[in-house]
Structure 1
Amino acid sequence: MADINCNAEMTAYHSDEVTLSLKQQQDMRTRRDAGRTRLHNGLDTAGKPQPREVRSQGSYQMRTMVQDPENDYDIDDGAYFQNDDLKDGDGLHLTPLAARQRVCDALKWDGRFKQEAEVKNNCVRQAYAVGYHIDVPVYRIIFVKDWQGNETERYELASGDEWITSDARAVTRWFNDKVKRLNQNDGELDEGQSDGSQLRRITKLTKKFARRADWKAKTTSGITITKLVVDHFMVSANRDDTALRETWRKIHAAIARSTQIAHPVVDKNLAENGDEQVTHFRTCLQVALDSLAVLDKDDCTRAQARQAWDDVFDTTFFSDQPDPDAAKKAAGGGSVMNVTKVEPARRDDGGGRFG
């Protein structure tokens, strides 16, 4: 079959339409830092203890955030408090709700924001008029002993009315370690065959696909998509278009069997069997794979391949790119369309799940 190489188009799409611009990244850092200052000042004014640390987490820290035309971005910035610093005036430990309320009060202490911070089930949210919002999950640090009597730290999230074991920084480490291991293995494979940056790009392209305007309210979470991509990532040397399609095929096959998705670092599931959001994502993947079936035809043209990718991402970006075949012919050099034997993509499993 003909293999239409759309890697150049995919690379341009990732650069122009998926990755955040330097200005967007700087804007987010500025607002994140301003939020930290506001939290510090608010707690200081109220005479309450400061968190031991505040750490960015989630897609912002993993560098897998994608562009959104409505500026619907969230920055997760976890506040980690020593357990004994989360007490009320009577010396009693705060409930999870009271802990979140203390952080919320600190963020709105001077009343300067038109959209004041509000308490959510798993965080405190500060929204900005431009569309951004900062989520501040509240954690307590407690010390537990293992079976040998060694004391270790445990992190518990103020979630609803409970303190639940959780540490989003561990998710960031899990993903970044996966990227790092791919980078380290690169020298053992054929040149350009595997690098962690391709895993990050495929993750972002998949999240961009899932966040189409008519889908994003129905689809599954960013961490679930990231977990699926990591679990089923298919390496393809210098071909992000091939890697993306083959990864999607593997993901679709997996969630066709079961929509249960294990959390990458704690003993719980991100989604259960029958999960509606994962089911919706599966349906979207099937639509995309059906659109891309034209690539398997012997007579598939570059124009058809580009149109298929346009359909997948609900854009005209691919078809709007300059046609390298036309440019080559105009220069008298014939066609530069790559028609090659398709080699199977190679998978990197990483040796199982991260707990």
Structure 2
Amino acid sequence: MANLHDTFMEFNDIIYLSPQKKSELRTSRNSIRDDITKYFNEKRDKHTVKYKGQGSFSTNTCILPISGEYDVDDGVYIFGKEEDRPTPQTAHNWIYEAVKDRTNQDTIDKNTCVRVQYARNYHVDLPIYYKTTDTKDEYFFDSEDIPELAHKDKGWIESDPYAFRKWFINEARGKDQLKRIIRYLKAWTDNKSYLNLPSGMVFTILAVEHFTSMDRDDEALLKTLENIQEAIDDVKFWSASYSCYRPTVNTTENLMDKYASETRKKNFLEALDNFIISGKQALELKSRKDACAKWQRHLGSRFPCANIVEDDEQLAKSFVVPDVIRDNKSA
């Protein structure tokens, strides 16, 4: 059986956020924070502001996208009295004014955040929250005062990404393989972007809930994929439920509803099934290069098949055994 653990580890190094890039992104993020703090100190006497990192950058599961453009999410938390709460658009205007001159690129005011674009292939998204109490500690975490996100179309919406971050850090503590599996899943969705597969948050939750630790990353990825399929593919499995619920606010929201149209669901479940078929075939093949090609079909050209060296002695044994692995189904 082809063992591609080392190849997966090499792939992880390729898509992983390097310490140098992480430092660059953190420096840019902190400069933006300084701009916002200065603006509030000078122009907003009824409000104060603090920050919390969120998203894959804060959980150490982000990858280098094929596009080459990193995405950093940094939550901006405005504190004030209820009677001094601004409209979502006003809150966006404040943050936009504070950061609009940070770079020579266009700053974009989106529905759920203000985006600061950098020329060096990355951007910082600034979702904006409002809280009426401040616990005064470093992370100002207060489960009774749930932050509300400034959504320009939908108004103020309860949202607590820091609670999600705390949940993930607790679930992933000591599980480096789980974090790598999440990166592989994100690389798969990035390579298959034309299919509009579920978001990184969805796969993070599904991976945590269905992860199986194994000695090798190729085996662990396949087993995790199989577990996910058995849990959500209600076409193949009668006991499955096409669902993925947030582990934190809002726990009643089924994130799969966004991917429940007939076309999107069909594309996702078929892509998942094909990925699993290829993974099973790859594990059974004798040739590591042939096995790598199976994985590469789903993970993309960055998956480093060119560096594989065959075990000639092991491969020679395969010539006396009929090839029963290949079938007519494309995977």
Which TM bucket (shorter chain)? Answer: 0.7 to 0.9
Identify which of 275, 281, 285 aligns with 1:294: 281
Identify which of 280, 299, 307 aligns with 1:313: 299
Whether 1:219 and 2:197 are equivalent positions in the alignment is: yes
Q: How does 1:126-145 map to 2 (within 5 A)?
A: 126-142=116-132
Query: 1:190-231: per-residue Cα shift (whole Å, max 9, x none)?
Result: xxxxxx11111101111111111x516722211111111111
Identify which of 237, 244, 262 aligns with 1:261: 244
- CA distance in structure 1 between the partners assigned to 2:158 and 2:84 by the alignment: 21
Q: Classify the secondary structure of the residue corresponding to 1:74.
A: strand
Q: 1:320 to 1:296 in 2, by over 3 A?
A: closer
- CA distance in structure 2 between the partners assigned to 1:315 and 1:216 by the alignment: 16
Supply the RMSD in Å over aligned alpha carbons.
Answer: 2.9
Q: Classify the secondary structure of the residue corresponding to 1:100.
A: helix
State the Cα distance separating 1:71 from its structure 2 match: 2.6
Aligned position for 1:35:
32
Q: Which structure 2 residue ranges, 5 or more long, are not aligned?
A: 134-141, 235-240, 319-331
- CA distance in structure 1 between the partners assigned to 2:266 and 2:209 by the alignment: 18
State the Cα distance separating 1:45 from its structure 2 match: 4.0
Say whether the 8 Å CA contact 1:154–1:165 is kept in structure 2: yes
Q: How does 1:67-82 map to 2 (within 5 A)?
A: 67-82=64-79
Q: Classify the secondary structure of the residue corresponding to 1:122.
A: coil
- CA distance in structure 2 between the partners assigned to 1:21 and 1:264 by the alignment: 29
Say whether the 8 Å CA contact 1:122–1:159 is kept in structure 2: yes
Q: Which structure 1 residue ranges, 5 or more long, are not aligned?
A: 144-149, 184-195, 327-333, 340-355
Identify which of 179, 185, 188 aligns with 1:200: 179
Say whether the 8 Å CA contact 2:286–2:314 is kept in structure 1: no
- CA distance in structure 2 between the partners assigned to 1:249 and 1:205 by the alignment: 15
State the Cα distance separating 1:316 from its structure 2 match: 6.4
Q: 1:217 to 1:74 in 2, by over 3 A?
A: farther
Q: 1:198 to 1:296 in 2, by over 3 A?
A: closer
Alignment-mate amino acid for residue 226 of structure 1: T
- CA distance in structure 2 between the partners assigned to 1:27 and 1:59 by the alignment: 16
Q: 1:279 to 1:18 in 2, by over 3 A?
A: farther
* Off by >4 Å, runs of 4+ in structure 1: 47-50, 275-279, 334-337
Whether 1:271 and 2:248 are equivalent positions in the alignment is: no
Identify which of 155, 162, 166 aligns with 2:159: 166
Alignment-mate amino acid for residue 118 of structure 1: I
Q: 1:313 to 1:262 in 2, by over 3 A?
A: same
| TM-score scaled by length of structure 1 | 0.76
Aligned position for 1:156:
148
Identity %: 27
| TM-score scaled by length of structure 2 | 0.81
Q: 1:270 to 1:31 in 2, by over 3 A?
A: same
Alignment-mate amino acid for residue 265 of structure 1: T
Q: 1:77 to 1:104 in 2, by over 3 A?
A: same
Identify which of 223, 230, 237 aligns with 1:246: 223
How many residues of Structure 1 are paired with residues of Structure 2 in the alignment?
300
Aligned position for 1:13:
11
